[in-house]
Amino acid sequence: MSMADQAAEKKAFRLSMLIYDTRYRSITIQVIALIALALVGAWLVSNTLSNLEALDKELGFGFLSEPSSYDINQRLIEYDSRSSHGRAALVGILNTLLVAFMGCVLATIIGVTAGVARLSKNWIIARLMTVYVEMFRNVPILLWIVLVMAVVIETLPVPRSFKGENATSSMILGDSVAITNRGIYFPKPIYLEGSMIVFAAFILSLVGIWVFGRWAKKRQARTGDILPTGWIKLAIFVVPTLLVFFIMGRPITLEYPVFKGFNFQGGYQMRNSLIALWLALSFYTGAFIAEAVRAGIQAISKGQSEAAAALGLRPKRIMNLVILPQALRVIIPPLISQYLNLTKNSSLAIVVGYMDITATLGGITLNQTGREMESLLLLMAMYLSISITVSIAMNWYNESIKMRER
């Protein structure tokens, strides 16, 4: 037998190679694991359907079109007790997104401020921020939510204290905002004809700010000149919208809250449950973000700030132009996790009576319809969708700020 025939024989594929040949063994193990996982999943589905059939239940989502027969106190869209369970679930989703968005914004502000302050040369400020971080990180979030709710109820004035000549409390911001233990009442915008044009001008202003910001950054990288971007962006944000607003004859008016009977009427109400949940989630998550910010800043060599100071940059400029842009590479990955944790922790809203998706679809709707399997599947799908969306958006931002070699 020639050498060529021997080599061809060695290369011939045999089934035993799937186990003994290292080139194929890993693929074989993965295929077997995948088949086993699929079989387990199929068994679980089959067993679940059999159990539902034994209980005289059929898997279906027709219950979403049935009347909900319960009220939701905080809502962003029209809803009443005659609305469907699907509508109630939508209200709950919007409430979850509302508190998650507000919480992420406030937690980021608190976290960045506290993280930078922990590195302050002022001993008192640094120690105060250390106390804040350690206190919030080491106490369960559920206790903070209940505590903040208790503080809101017990310390803020009751609505009737705003009434009559003997009123002990007063509204703020030109008698347009009332802060009570039932929530915050503030003006509600009324949209008239032409308001869409004003809204379009506002959107174009935001686009203009983004375009100008990118141009200013490229110009600074090319020439080294720093423009007063803050004031210019503020002018782009305010001036065009105001001009269109007055040209169109003020098509957006405000409905102010007025005390009538035993409570305020008109305007919007941010209920105390939303306020307590929002503040507790923000301060709790802000403590973790502060540690991520501190770690990101400390990861940057001191030589960076010393070189910037030698060039004549002030401390604020050094932080904004030298330290933070590099620290973001370290800060963003854990920041994504904290945003996801905040969103998922919002499911504790039920303890203070805030009607989010867990309280509506996973609570009252589940109990009324008895569709626990369908409700929980939908609930998990909603949280999964929200978390994946947040993760994709933050990963895109993380990719966009990466420092690239020239």
Tens-digit pLDDT profile for residues 82-120 = 889 999 999 999 999 999 999 999 999 999 999 989 988
Structural element, H or E, at residue 41 = helix 22-54
Structure tokens given for 332 = 């963003």
Arithmetic mean of pLDDT, 68-92: 88
What would the DSSP string read from start to end of 296-343?
A: HHHTS-HHHHHHHHHTT--HHHHIIIIIHHHHHHHHHHHHHHHHHHHH
| CA–CA dist 326, 298 (Å, integer) | 11
Give the model's pLDDT for residue 103: 94
pLDDT at 4 over 70: no
pLDDT at 28 over 80: yes
Return the amino acid letter for 24.
Y
Give the model's pLDDT for residue 34: 92
- Among 23-37, 140-154, 274-288, which is the least confidently predicted range? 23-37
- The pTM assigned to this predicted structure is 0.83
By residue count, the chain amounts to: 406
- Among 229-238, 272-281, 285-294, which is the least confidently predicted range? 229-238
Give the model's pLDDT for residue 207: 92
Give the model's pLDDT for residue 403: 60
| CA–CA dist 245, 193 (Å, integer) | 12
How does DSSP classify residue 186?
Answer: E
Give the model's pLDDT for residue 266: 83
Report which of residues 53 and 375 the model is more confident about: 375
How does DSSP classify residue 179?
Answer: E
- Provide the mean pLDDT of the chain: 85
Report which of residues 261 and 139 the model is more confident about: 139
**Cβ atoms within 10 Å, residue 293:** 28
142 to each of 145, 148, 280, 358, how far by Cα in Å?
A: 5, 10, 9, 15
Picking from 109, 99, 101, 98, the residue whose alpha carbon sits closest to that of residue 283 is 109
Give the model's pLDDT for residue 331: 87
| CA–CA dist 18, 38 (Å, integer) | 21
Give the model's pLDDT for residue 260: 82
- Among 133-147, 192-206, 253-267, which is the least confidently predicted range? 253-267
Under the banding of pLDDT at 50, 70 and 90, the label for residue 50 is: confident
pLDDT at 170 over 90: no
- CB burial of 210-219 (b: ≥16 within 10 Å; e: otherwise) equals eeeeeebeee
**CA 10, 14, 19 angle in degrees (round to 5)?**
110
| CA–CA dist 159, 149 (Å, integer) | 17
pLDDT at 404 over 70: no
Residue-wise pLDDT tens digits, 333-344? 889 899 999 999
Give the model's pLDDT for residue 6: 55
Give the model's pLDDT for residue 182: 87
pLDDT at 381 over 80: yes
Give the model's pLDDT for residue 301: 82
Give the model's pLDDT for residue 11: 62
| CA–CA dist 38, 23 (Å, integer) | 25
Under the banding of pLDDT at 50, 70 and 90, the label for residue 289 is: very high
Phi-psi domain of 74 (left: phi exceeds 0; alpha: psi -120 through 50; beta: other): beta
Give the model's pLDDT for residue 69: 87
Give the model's pLDDT for residue 275: 92
Give the model's pLDDT for residue 285: 94
248, 161 Cβ separation under 8 angstroms: no
Give the model's pLDDT for residue 267: 84
Give the model's pLDDT for residue 338: 92
pLDDT at 2 over 70: no
Element counts in the chain: helices (H) and strands (E) = 15, 7
pLDDT above 70 covers a percentage of the chain that reads: 95
149 to each of 278, 351, 353, 359, how far by Cα in Å?
A: 10, 10, 10, 17
Give the model's pLDDT for residue 287: 94
Arithmetic mean of pLDDT, 32-58: 84
Report which of residues 260 and 106 the model is more confident about: 106
| CA–CA dist 155, 279 (Å, integer) | 15
Residue-wise pLDDT tens digits, 196-219? 999 999 999 999 999 988 888 888
Residue-wise pLDDT tens digits, 356-368? 899 898 888 888 8
